[in-house]
Homo-oligomer: A and B are copies of this chain.
Amino acid sequence: MKILIVGGTGTIGQAVTKLLAERHEVIVAGHQHGDIQVDLREEKSIAAMYKATGKLDAVVITTGKVHFGNLTEMTPEQYQIGLQSKLMGQVNIVLAGLTYLNDGGSFTLTSGILNRDPIRVGSSAAMVNGALDGFVKAAAIEMPRAIRINVVSPTVLAESMHKYADYFRGFVPVNAEKVALAYSKSVEGGQTGQVYCVE
């Protein structure tokens, strides 16, 4: 398969790239690094990315920003960061990618645990993750040409605990290597409309 990994230079993206590159052709897109540069908040940038890749069998997205902050201090503008980057960035990659995916191809998005198991300062992340899970379940039943779509919803990464441990007390972290398996299941399996919770 020919697979595009958007966000392939991040912690999860690197693990997914390593796993899938063992048996597939992998193209990595990143904000600053990777084979192709892309700003997922810009539709033009997404269009240019697909023009560079050409036809694909799978698109994996492992990137997107959200703002973390106390609920009582969050502004509408701070919620927009997550809505425009992590949510609509991924959704726009799906919409623009429909014509580039071969029949039976797949999209695999990334949400996260915080809408199921919330933490303080995480209301924007919970909003965006819930939106992604809902979008994928609905989009799956409308995909043309047997194209599939799933989302991976991991808990906090072991690799990130040195930075975020204070926010995730009591959470059981998982390694990026384990999270990567869910992307493999989505890309190389046959399921669609699934939220793969990795905990």
Contact = CB atoms under 8 A, between A and B. Distances in A.
A99 to B, nearest CB: 9
A43 B132 contact: no
Nearest to A128: B131
Interface residues of A, number: 45
A100 B144 CA distance: 48
A88 interface: yes
Contact of A131 (B74, B118, B130): B130
Contacts of A121: 142
Contacts of A193: 118
A85 to B, nearest CB: 13
Nearest to A142: B71
A79 B123 CA distance: 20
Which are the 3 A-B pairs with shortest beta-carbon distances?
A130-B134, A115-B134, A126-B138
